Structure 1
Amino acid sequence: MGMVSEDAINQFSALMEEVEEPLKKTFQNVHQGYPRETYTRFLKAREWNVQKAHKMLVDSLNWRVQNDIDNILTKPILPADLYRAVRDSQLIGVSGYSREGLPVYAIGVGQSSLDKASVHCYVQSHIQMNEYRDRVILPTQTKKHGRHISTCIKVLDMTGLKLSALSQIKLLTIISTIDDLNYPEKTSTYYVVNVPYVFSACWKVVKPLLQERTRKKVQVLSGSGRDELLQIMDYASLPHFCRKESGSSRHSGHGTENCYSLDHPFHQELYSYMKRQASVVEPVEPIKQGSFHVDLPEPAPEGAIIAETIESEMHKYHKQNAVDSLDKLKITDD
């Protein structure tokens, strides 16, 4: 595979020499001085098919130009109360770093309501965190550790996952599609913790639908996953919901400990960074309030099938739960 990979990267690089200047400019923001590694990411996402990987990257660069993604970090969500509402309902943050220097993203899948702002606000916030990761956090870690760091770790907290989560599937599929098409191979491992039975039931059915390279990245841990995660990161970098043997609390800990909170250092740094960038770009005009609209992609067929499967399995699970509850009630009455 080594020779094939080298040949594929060289072919890819030659093709990229022919793209137009606007795409070359935005490509610099994508590769951050490491074009070869970027070619490798897109090749992996297309099973080392050079033509498909080239089309994927060019499509992504066109998306960036058409949606002004290069300037998205100059467009903070305003007013601050709206951004706080986004942070309180789209539970995600950086809790620290692994011992290898990879940023640790904590995501409250089960308790994110995604109902306090528009779809565009949530999409904008997600892309901003992606861009901040790729343009600020990862280059900083690369410099600090003296080697290229291009991926992160994600810890997914499933506490509170229930039928109401189905209302979020459309938005989550949009966000997942944006990541798949434009930020491939940016997560090295997904650790899933605080798993309720409903997730286990869905996972058994969804797992075979995932591509093999994605399946290999997912590790479902027991309880809060604390002991396993401490093997790759220090206690200070554990997400707040992993610091106990089991269980979680949406707002556990103070603002500086709860990495979802706008008061956490990560979100304070990110928000301050965007406001500074905005003041540099538009020092005279007031910064516009409201969300920055990005074209929302159509989910890939595989993504749509996975979303439908999850929806079906959750309905089945809750329907069976309702039947079991009725049976218990009848037994009690008898």
Structure 2
Amino acid sequence: MFGFWSNSHHGQEDDPLPAELKINELKTAIGPQSGRSLQYCSDACLRRYLEARNWNLEKSKKMLEETLNWRSTYKPEEIQWDEVAVEGETGKVYRANFHDRQGRTVLILRPGMQNTKCLDSQMRHLVYLIENAVLNLPEGQEQMSWLIDFTGWSLSTSVPIKSARDTINILQNHYPERLGVAFLYNPPRIFEAFWKIVKYFLDAKTFQKVKFVYPKNKDSVELMRSYFDEENLPTEFGGKAILNYDHEEFTRLMTLDDATTAAFWGFDDKPKHVGNGYSASEVAPEPVS
């Protein structure tokens, strides 16, 4: 949404047309845009849709048009923290105060901390935080990392299959190339039955980004450390930092980010300068090592 840069050229090795020409073709194909759709459809945004569909123009066009329709009705950029704050009271999903080694924003998900039953509200909360993660991407970085902690997870606390499917659908179809990696940390054996169903909703690219990590498996632990500095990584994920979610503090920071979002999309009368298209606000909650 806010970070529209891209440094990759995946799928272009065998294509005679440079990426820039493909981007211009897609821009022409979707036709003139206005308002927020025009703001959304930056060159880097179009590149992500092309990459997600292996640079196939028609498939990329269809995907982008579906997203523009979704954004025009769902209006993810208009969701305010106070609308979804109740969903975040337990810290089941939040933006961490650290980045991975590649500078990607990190979302921490703790499905065992589920505290509500309304799927629509849960999805709005997640969409809000995906938008917020993008808002806080460092310059030059387009992707986020997900850390999923299964502490307290059971089939009774697990998200319904429909919720998992909707999450995957939104992430894959409306935030293409935004997920860099998702670590599923120490899932219980019973999760295997759930995973056997969920994995069929994943496209090949997303599937490759999902990593299972088990604390007693040396290779998977080393993989985790290759992505994260263990001084920043919470102990729940094998690191050294203490994870303390402070809902009041997180609410304060999200309220600040809401003002930045409003300025970016032109909700207020006095748009503020947003460096690199995102907020430089601090992140939270802060682990104490």
State the TM-score, normalizing by the size of structure 1: 0.63
Q: Distance in 2 between matches of 1:10 and 1:87?
A: 47
Residues 72-127 of structure 1 deviation map (CA, whole Å, 9 limit, x = unaligned): 3xx3325xxx7145332743332411122112221113x032516x4343222222
SS of aligned partner of 2:184: strand
Structure 2 CA distance for partners of 1:165 and 1:7, relative to 1, 3 Å: farther
Q: Distance in 2 between matches of 1:16 and 1:186?
A: 20
* Residue 234 of structure 2 is aligned to residue 239 of structure 1: yes
Structure 2 CA distance for partners of 1:60 and 1:207, relative to 1, 3 Å: closer
Ranked by relative contact order (alpha carbons within 8 Å, sequence separation 6 or more), the top structure is: 1
Q: CA deviation at 1:38?
A: 2.3
RMSD in angstroms over aligned alpha carbons?
Answer: 3.4
Whichever of the two has the greater Rg, that structure is 1
Other-structure match for 1:76: 81
SS of aligned partner of 1:121: helix
Q: Distance in 2 between matches of 1:174 and 1:206?
A: 11
**Structure 2 counterparts to residues 245-324 of structure 1, below 5 A:** 257-259=243-245, 261-263=246-248, 268-274=252-258, 281=267
- The structure 2 residue matched to 1:54, chosen from 49, 61, 70, is 61
% identical aligned pairs:
21
Q: State whether residues 193 and 222 of structure 1, in contact with CA within 8 Å, keep that contact through their aligned partners in structure 2.
A: yes
Q: State whether residues 46 and 52 of structure 1, in contact with CA within 8 Å, keep that contact through their aligned partners in structure 2.
A: yes
Q: State whether residues 192 and 221 of structure 1, in contact with CA within 8 Å, keep that contact through their aligned partners in structure 2.
A: yes
Structure 2: 5+ residue stretches without partners:
1-11, 270-289
Q: CA deviation at 1:53?
A: 0.7
* Residue 13 of structure 2 is aligned to residue 21 of structure 1: no
Other-structure match for 1:288: none
Q: CA deviation at 1:203?
A: 4.1
Structure 2 CA distance for partners of 1:5 and 1:216, relative to 1, 3 Å: farther
Q: CA deviation at 1:204?
A: 5.8
Other-structure match for 1:174: 166
**Structure 2 counterparts to residues 1-334 of structure 1, below 5 A:** 1-4=12-15, 6-7=17-18, 10-17=21-28, 19-22=31-34, 25-29=36-40, 31=42, 35=43, 37-72=44-79, 75-78=80-83, 83-88=85-90, 90-109=92-111, 111-115=112-116, 118-134=118-134, 136-138=135-137, 141-142=138-139, 148-165=140-157, 168-203=160-195, 207=199, 210-223=202-215, 228-243=223-238, 257-259=243-245, 261-263=246-248, 268-274=252-258, 281=267
SS of aligned partner of 2:130: helix
Q: Distance in 1 between matches of 2:67 and 2:58?
A: 14
Determine which structure has the larger helix proportion and give its number: 1
Structure 2 CA distance for partners of 1:233 and 1:6, relative to 1, 3 Å: farther
Structure 2 CA distance for partners of 1:130 and 1:67, relative to 1, 3 Å: same
Q: State whether residues 144 and 179 of structure 2, in contact with CA within 8 Å, keep that contact through their aligned partners in structure 1.
A: yes
Q: State whether residues 99 and 234 of structure 1, in contact with CA within 8 Å, keep that contact through their aligned partners in structure 2.
A: yes
Structure 1: 5+ residue stretches without partners:
143-147, 246-251, 284-334
Q: State whether residues 92 and 106 of structure 1, in contact with CA within 8 Å, keep that contact through their aligned partners in structure 2.
A: yes
Q: Distance in 1 between matches of 2:65 and 2:157?
A: 34
Q: Distance in 1 between matches of 2:73 and 2:203?
A: 29
* Letter of the 1:233 counterpart: F
Structure 2 CA distance for partners of 1:105 and 1:236, relative to 1, 3 Å: farther
Q: Distance in 2 between matches of 1:124 and 1:208?
A: 23
Q: Distance in 1 between matches of 2:65 and 2:201?
A: 27
Q: Aligned residue pairs: how many?
A: 252
Residues 159-199 of structure 1 deviation map (CA, whole Å, 9 limit, x = unaligned): 33322145533233223222222101211111111221112
SS of aligned partner of 1:58: helix
SS of aligned partner of 2:61: helix
Structure 2 CA distance for partners of 1:170 and 1:53, relative to 1, 3 Å: same
